Amino acid sequence: MNRINNLFKKKNGKILSVYFTAGYPDLDDTLTIIRELDRSGVDMVEIGMPFSDPVADGPVIQRSSEIALKNGMNINLLFNQLAKIREVTDMPLILMGYINPVFRYGMENFLEKCNETGIDGTIIPDLPPDVYMESYEPLYVKHDIINVFLVTPQSSVERIKYLDQISKGFIYVVSTAKTTGGINSFNQSHTDYFRKLDNLKLKSPRLVGFGISDRTTYNQVCEYSDGAIIGSAFIRSLEGTGSLPENINRFIQTIR
Amino acid sequence: MNKTFISDSKGYYGQYGGAYIPEMLRENVESLRAVYYDIIESEEFKKEFSMLLTDYAGRPSPLFFAGRLSNKYGAKIYLKREDLNHTGSHKINNTIGQILLAKKMGKKRIIAETGAGQHGAATATVCALMGMECVVYMGELDMARQEPNVKRMEMLGASVVPATCGNKTLKDATNEALRDWICNPENTFYIIGSVVGPHPYPDLVTKFQSVISEELLSQLMAKEGTEDPDYIIACVGGGSNAAGIFYKYIDRKKVKLIGVEAAGKGVETDETAATITVGETGIIHGSKTLLMQNEDGQITEPYSISAGLDYPGVGPLHAWLAGTGRASYLNATDNEALDAAYELTRLEGIIPALESAHALAALGKLKLKPADIVVVNISGRGDKDMQAYANANR
Ligand SMILES: Cc1ncc(COP(=O)(O)O)c(C=O)c1O
């Protein structure tokens, strides 16, 4: 069974998934970050493949992506860094990035390499679900990789149900109409939306992302979903004064 | 506008086009896609659009026989004078169309990206006309090199927001506009300035700009007794003025369509914006098209002296026309464009925009015969470029 499905089967709620940009702060931090996230008790990791034009991202991830690219990160190098990752961790691992570099790498090559490396899923925001269904679903199935779909506060119920139906792992609930890192607290309209999704009784589990920055927001979204995804706030914490492992552990402890 | 669809229902021109957008933009784009065709084909819309093009923008734009330029190149050269439109370029055709669409959709706030500032100024203009809030994203570098247009937009009541990432040019401004749209999904209409972006933008911008070729048919008939010239030449940044003047001629195979991209310092250098010449297939700003990228699929920074052509992608229509061979794409360097601008100015008393100067620079690259009828689209006027022209000191 794919590790993503296994995680949701084993663990009931309060799942914590963390996003970081590969190649940031330094080119070779990838394994250290994954190892420390595992040690600090995180459940799943999203490894960001940096892109030159991250349209859905706010300033924090724009900047980490820019630095990662300057440091020399690319998909090939990332796969090399991850070659022995399954000796390091059993957590589900997801590659997250924009479609153009993946397209350039070649979707078939990319999924084959994911499978070989022990990657479990992808999140590619600008790969539209209809294009995925038309062109890539069989390849994903063949390589046992799960593509994760996003829903937003603007998504219609019909759309949400469609995405739930084609989803093979979990649904990424975008908390708010913002780019990443653009909000740090939730109000009534956010919780209404989280509750609405909860009441739809979808078959897929849901993780909420965008704007989870501390214990309060983490607990808030866990009330209505299966867990949370933290990105910008985590990346900001890497700039702390301690060593990389210290910064990571300190940050995760502020969440749970 | 006629019913010709040159893209399919999902916005593909052959393999190019589509709508590669994150889910956060889906409702925005989908709600536009669902209604745009019926709105722009309605009698009410056509009437209002046509009235504003005539009474406000000053259309039809003249077709001018450039006698001295014709002598120089040994062919009959006509200039389609989009520079004489209100706001000084073809961009107003599109912004009038899109703001009417925005109004019909009940949107209150308008955003736009701009390179040279011509699209930004044309957007700020129609926002003033319609009493709508207007936010224009513009690369910081472009704000410096096209300063008169920044002042114009501000006088028109727009806020001009600098894009400070990347090269601080058109691509970065477009990223910021898309981010704004993600953050303001309910009340905001994004007026894209060229035939780029996710479906339906390339199609609807092409349709709004097609008035250029629509007029050309009858203007040329009146002057030459034929609707069909031998050559049509237009500069290509995103490709909207070219799409507009090509549109009615795409099925008239004997008319040679020539797009001219900005070579910058030369297509063999890293400092170029000639996307069709040096680009490869990929996805930029929601569209599958040709784009300038490195072997890792990172979008590379373009360069051109002309802010309006300084873009690493190109509209999917042009990627398709290039791929099928229906249109040819040449390029002109900064210096060739400057020379061409001075030449037109001294021969005909018309100072063209730097963008349009690239189209003029192609005249010397074609093997023209005396009987050839050539139409060059003068997409805009050169007021905004006086600093660059003065520095060039020809
Ligand atoms: C006068 C003029 N011509 C051409 C362009 C390039 O745009 P497009 O290729 O969409 O016509 C611009 C863009 O700013 C412009 O201002």
Please report the pLDDT score of residue B5 as a whole number: 59
Report residue B46 CA to chain centroid gap: 21
Q: Which residues of B are catalytic?
A: 91, 113, 379
Query: Is there a contact between B182 and A178 if contact means CB atoms under 8 Å apart?
Result: yes
Q: How far is A14 from chain B (nearest CA, A)?
A: 25
Q: Does A149 touch chain B (CB under 8 A)?
A: yes
Residue B73: the pLDDT is: 98
Between the alpha carbon of residue B122 and those of residues A186, B88, B117, the distances in Å are: 38, 9, 8
Q: Mean pLDDT over residues A137-149, rounded?
A: 98
Q: Write the ipTM.
A: 0.96
Position A183 confidence tier, pLDDT thresholds 50, 70, 90: confident
Distance B212 CA to ligand 1 centre (A): 14
User: Choosing among A49, A51, A55, which should be mutated to test the B contact, i.e. which has the most B CBs within 10 A?
Assistant: A55
Element at A109 (helix H, strand E): helix A107-117
- The answer to whether the CB atoms of B184 and A177 lie below 8 A apart is yes
CATH of residue A20: 3.20.20.70
Q: Considering only alpha carbons, which residue of chain B is nearest residue A73? A: B296
Separation in Å, CA of B131 to nearest CA in chain A:
26
Give the angle subtended at the CA of A163 by the CAs of A162 and A164, to the nearest 5°: 90
Tell me which residues of chain A, numbers 226 to 255, contact chain B at a CB-CB cutoff of 8 Å. Answer: none
Q: Does A32 touch chain B (CB under 8 A)?
A: no
Please name the member of B28, B179, B298 whose beta carbon is closest to the beta carbon of A179: B179
pLDDT bucket at A167, cuts 50 / 70 / 90:
very high
Instruction: Write the residue with the smallest CA distance to atom 12 of ligand 1.
Output: B308
Q: Which domain holds residue A12?
A: 3-255
CA of B363 to the centre of ligand 1 (A): 19
Give the model's pLDDT for residue A202: 98
* Residue of B20, B30, B32, B188 to mutate, testing the A interface (most A Cβ within 10 Å of its Cβ): B20
Question: What atom of ligand 1 comes closest to residue B241's alpha carbon?
Answer: 11
Ligand 1 pocket residue status of B356, Cβ below 6 Å: yes
* Ligand 1 pocket, residue B120 CB under 6 Å: no
Residue reference for tokens 């097609």: B210
Q: Which positions 71-110 of A are in contact with B (Cβ < 8 Å)?
A: 74-76, 99-105
Give the number of domains in chain A.
Answer: 1
Q: Is the CB of B194 under 6 A from ligand 1?
A: yes
Cβ neighbours of B12 in A, within 8 Å: none
B-chain residue closest to A152, CA distance: B24
Is the N-terminal amide bond of B302 cis, ω within 30° of 0?
no
Partners of B234 in beta bridges: B259
Q: Which of A63, A64, A154, A166 to mutate to test the interface with B (most CBs of B within 10 A)?
A: A154
Sign of CA dihedral B98, B25, B21, B169: positive
Mean pLDDT, residues A134-142? 98
B293 contacts in chain A (CB < 8 Å): 100, 104
- Residue of chain B whose alpha carbon sits nearest to that of A181: B183
Cβ B141 vs Cβ B111: under 8 Å: no
Instruction: Give how far B24 is from chain A: nearest CA, Å.
Output: 6
pLDDT score, position B334: 98
The stretch A134-159 carries a mean pLDDT of: 98
Nearest CA to ligand 1 atom 16: B118
- Please tell me the residue having the least CA distance from ligand 1 atom 10: B240
- Spatial distance between the Cα atoms of A103 and A219, rounded to a whole number of angstroms: 37
Q: Give buried/exposed letters for A5-27 (b at 16+ CB in 10 A, else e).
A: bebbeeeeeebbbbbbbbbbbeb
The residue assigned the tokens 């050309």 is B216
B206 Cβ closer than 6 Å to some ligand 1 atom: no
Which residues of chain B fall short of a pLDDT of 70? 1-5
From the CB of B83, is ligand 1 less than 6 Å away?
A: no
Query: How many whole angstroms from B325 Cα to the centroid of ligand 1?
Result: 23
Q: Is B236 in the pocket of ligand 1 (CB under 6 A)?
A: yes
Structure confidence at residue A80 (pLDDT): 98
CA A221/CA B116 separation, integer angstroms: 44
DSSP labels, B5-56? -SS-TTSEETTEE-----HHHHHHHHHHHHHHHHHHTSHHHHHHHHHHHHHT
* Residues near B285 by beta carbon (within 8 Å), at least 6 away in sequence: A55, B171, B174, B175, B178, B196, B197, B198, B313
From A29, A43, A57, A120, active-site residue: A57
Average of per-residue pLDDT across A172-178: 95
Mutation pick for ligand 1 pocket among B246, B290, B309 (CB with most ligand atoms within 8 Å): B309
How far apart are the C-alpha atoms of A95 and A9, rounded to whole Å? 21
Tokens of A215: 């214990």
Return the residue whose CA atom lies nearest to atom 15 of ligand 1.
Answer: B308
* Nearest chain A residue to B312, by CA: A53
Of B18, B23, B295, the CB nearest to A174: B23
B381 CB under 6 A from ligand 1?
A: no
What CA–CA distance (Å, rounded) separates B344 from B337?
11
Note the pLDDT of residue B394. 83
Reported as a single tens digit per residue, the pLDDT across A70-125 is: 999 999 999 999 999 999 999 999 999 999 999 999 999 999 999 999 999 999 99
A100 to B299: CB separation less than 8 angstroms, yes or no: yes
B335, two tokens: 């210096």
pLDDT of residue B166: 86
Is the distance from CB of B261 to CB of B331 less than 8 angstroms? yes
What residue type is B356 in one-letter code?
S
